[in-house]
């Protein structure tokens, strides 16, 4: 079993794609690889490079604190399990907890919705055909999430800043 963990400052990164490093551990919790996070350069192609790195390392499990619904959906589609963690928890405890099925994220809707993606026009609207992520935001006015479905009717009315709704 291979476990990937996004890390910043020696702890689990609070947001998956904003981690400084991607650290890979084996089933015995031994460090086997340590990479600069390619997603830090920004954009969908950089996030795809991060996903490709994790796939290339043959990760079975990724530990996250916060992750966007698009990236979560891509990990799950690649048959990579995603375990919920907390940056205040020790690395050893996070690695141990990653085998607990009660911590698993099973649906892309458990990830955070990116309204910025839609507000910026999305990355899929470019002349090159885009990056392959979904083309529209996924929130409705009751904040229900419908991953990988295109629904843009109520997106313009919602604005987020971190976890707080901004009106």
What's the token pair of residue 74? Answer: 């891509």
CA-closest candidate to residue 19, choices 4, 31, 8, 5: 8
Contacts of 79 (CB under 8 A, 6+ apart): none
- The structure's pTM equals 0.69
Structural Rg of the chain based on CA atoms: 16
pLDDT of residue 44: 79
Average pLDDT rounded to a whole number, residues 12-35 = 94
How many C-beta atoms lie closer than 10 Å to residue 6's C-beta?
26
Q: Which has the higher per-residue pLDDT, 4 or 117?
A: 4
Contacts of 86 (CB under 8 A, 6+ apart): 12, 65, 94
Contact 113, 138 (CB under 8 A): yes
Q: Which of 34-38, 45-49, 129-133 has the lowest mean pLDDT?
A: 129-133
Where does the pLDDT of residue 120 fall: very low under 50, low under 70, confident under 90, or very high at 90 and above? low
Q: What is the rounded distance in angstroms from the CA atom of residue 115 to the CA atom of residue 104?
A: 24
Q: Buried b vs exposed e over 66-77: b needs ≥16 C-beta within 10 Å?
A: bbbbbbbbbbbe
pLDDT of residue 157: 40
To the question of domain 3-110 being in CATH 3.30.420.130, the answer is yes
Tell me the three state secondary structure of residue 140.
coil
Q: What is the rounded distance in angstroms from the CA atom of residue 166 to the CA atom of residue 84?
A: 26
Helix H or strand E segment including 94 = helix 91-97
pLDDT of residue 129: 41
Beta strands in 14-128 (DSSP E): 21-25, 31-36, 61-64, 81-84, 104-105
Q: In the chain, what are the domain boundaries?
A: 3-110, 113-167
pLDDT(6) > 50: yes
Contact 150, 135 (CB under 8 A): yes
Query: How long is the chain?
Result: 167
């Amino acid at each position: 079993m291979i476990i990937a963990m996004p890390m910043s400052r020696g702890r689990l990164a609070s947001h998956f794609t904003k981690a400084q490093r991607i650290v890979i551990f084996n089933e015995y919790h031994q460090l086997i690889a340590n990479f600069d996070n390619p997603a830090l350069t920004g954009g969908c192609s950089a996030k795809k490079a991060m996903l490709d790195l994790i796939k290339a390392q043959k990760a079975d499990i990724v530990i996250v604190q916060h992750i966007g619904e698009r990236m979560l959906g891509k990990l799950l589609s690649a048959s990579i399990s995603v375990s919920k963690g907390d940056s205040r928890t020790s690395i050893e405890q996070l690695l141990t907890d990653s085998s607990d099925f009660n911590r698993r994220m099973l649906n892309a809707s458990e990830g955070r919705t990116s309204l910025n993606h839609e507000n910026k026009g999305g990355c899929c609207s470019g002349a090159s055909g885009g990056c392959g992520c979904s083309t529209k935001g996924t929130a409705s006015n009751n904040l229900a999430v419908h991953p990988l479905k295109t629904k843009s009717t109520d997106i313009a009315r919602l604005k987020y800043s971190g976890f707080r709704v901004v009106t």
